[in-house]
Structure 1
Amino acid sequence: MQLLISSASPFVRKARVLIREAGLMDTVDEVIVSTSAFNSAPEVIAANPMGKIPALIRADGPAIYDSRVITRFLNDLAGANLYPQSSIWEILTLEATADAIMDATVSMAYETRLRPADQQSPDWIEAQWAKAARGIAAINSRWMSHLTGPLNIGQIAVACALSYIDLRHDARGWRNGNEALAHWHAEFSTRDSMVATKPE
């Protein structure tokens, strides 16, 4: 199998961390592609008509996407139990919250990095950050208990979302007022899977 990737994407990183935690490095080849929101690479469009990454190309079936589908598929393939049935709805909600933070902060990055300055909308950027900030605060106040114990996809997703903010929006200071989450993230970021997938 081939996973189409770009190292800066938090959605890609979530899949890459899972691959390492689930012991699938010999099963999935990571293929770096040069693609953007304005100019999707042909190989990405061939795998995902939306032109987004990650996309997982399989030998025995059509390519699958998006990141939540890929991580669930790979988890089942490896029998990794990163979607524990005993708390599945909470874990899925935590993953969805992290993915929403990724959506908002990637949108912010697109606005500032891909659009000319005179076409950028400060109101749009601030609205997206407000969404991300609410998500971060909710995790810090409601979900910390699900970030402890055996590894699960919620933990991976949250770590990748926060690390992306550090990469693209560090000046926002997300740690202020979210000290418990900040402490957790500092520890989680030392995992081998996180170190190995840190964007260049």
Structure 2
Amino acid sequence: MKILFSPFSPYVRKCLVAGMELGLNDRIQLLPSNAHPVNRDREIIAVNPLGKVPTLFTDSGQSLYDSRVICEYLNDLAKGTLFPSGPQRWATLTLQSLGDGMLDAALLARYEDVARPEPYQWADWKTAQLDKVHTSLAALDVAPQNLVDRVDIGTIAVGCALWYLDLRFPDIGWRDRSPQVAAWYAAYSQRPAMRMTWSLQG
């Protein structure tokens, strides 16, 4: 398998963390890519009309996207348990949506600074996007039992969202606002898959 790779894409990271948890990482080759929200990469568009990463190429040559599809494919391939069945499945998928939603908002806030020309930047827009992150963390903080003692696609998504916040927004103080989530992440982030770094050389 091959995946279009960017070292700072939280969604690529989500797929690779899932792959490592499933024991599949040695089977996934990293391919360089240059995704950008404005200057769209035509090479990516040729295999994914959205022009986004991650895009996974299966061993049979099929192109899969986005991270939700890729992670479920990897779980099915490994006969894993990242996607439970029964009622717990819906809770897990909803937690994944919360983590992905936090990432979507953080990425939009990031793009406001680095992709939009300065004369057109809108501070209130960025604040509103980051407020989605804060309200999501507040909801998790009052129900930390929804995070502890589990490794599934929901906790992976939330963990990757927190990784991205630390990477791009180190000064927003999310740990002070959400101490229960911070305590969970302090332990969860020590998992080998969460500590892993990836590069095109390694």
TM range (shorter): over 0.9
**Residues 21-170 of structure 1 mapped to structure 2, 5 A cutoff:** 21-60=21-60, 62-86=62-86, 87-142=88-143, 144-170=144-170
| 3-state SS of 1:85 partner | coil
Point out the more displaced range, 14-23 or 35-44.
Answer: 35-44
Q: Which residue of 1 aligns with 2:186?
A: 186
Q: C-alpha deviations, 1:114-153, integer Å up to 9, x for none?
A: 22221100011011111111111112223x2232224111
Structure 1 residue 110: Cα displacement: 0.6
Structure 1 residue 196: Cα displacement: 1.2
Number of matched residues? Answer: 198
Give the aligned residue type for 1:128: Q
Point out the more displaced range, 4-13 or 39-48.
Answer: 39-48
| 3-state SS of 1:70 partner | helix
Give the aligned residue type for 1:122: A
Percent of pairs with identical residues: 40
Runs (5+) with no aligned partner, structure 2: none
Give the aligned residue type for 2:122: S
- Whether 2:9 is the aligned partner of 1:14: answer no
Preserved CA contact (<8 Å) 1:16 1:197: no
Q: C-alpha deviations, 1:53-99, integer Å up to 9, x for none?
A: 10111242531111111101111111111111141000000000000
What is the alpha-carbon distance in structure 2 between the residues aligned to residue 62 and residue 181 of structure 1? 37
Point out the more displaced range, 170-179 or 39-48.
Answer: 39-48
| 3-state SS of 2:24 partner | coil
What is the alpha-carbon distance in structure 2 between the residues aligned to residue 123 and residue 23 of structure 1? 43
Structure 1 residue 26: Cα displacement: 2.6
| 3-state SS of 1:26 partner | helix
Preserved CA contact (<8 Å) 1:47 1:57: no
Give the aligned residue type for 1:111: E
Give the aligned residue type for 2:80: A
* Moved beyond 6 Å, runs of 4+: none
Structure 1 residue 34: Cα displacement: 2.2
What is the RMSD of the two structures over their aligned residues, measured on CA atoms? Answer: 1.5
What is the alpha-carbon distance in structure 1 between the residues aligned to residue 7 and residue 118 of structure 2? 25
Give the aligned residue type for 2:126: I
TM (normalized to structure 1)?
A: 0.93
Preserved CA contact (<8 Å) 2:140 2:146: no
What is the alpha-carbon distance in structure 1 between the residues aligned to residue 25 and residue 176 of structure 2? 36
Are the structure 2 counterparts of residues 187 and 198 from structure 1 closer, same or farther at C-alpha, using a change threshold of 3 Å?
farther
Runs (5+) with no aligned partner, structure 1: none
TM (normalized to structure 2)?
A: 0.92
Preserved CA contact (<8 Å) 1:47 1:64: no
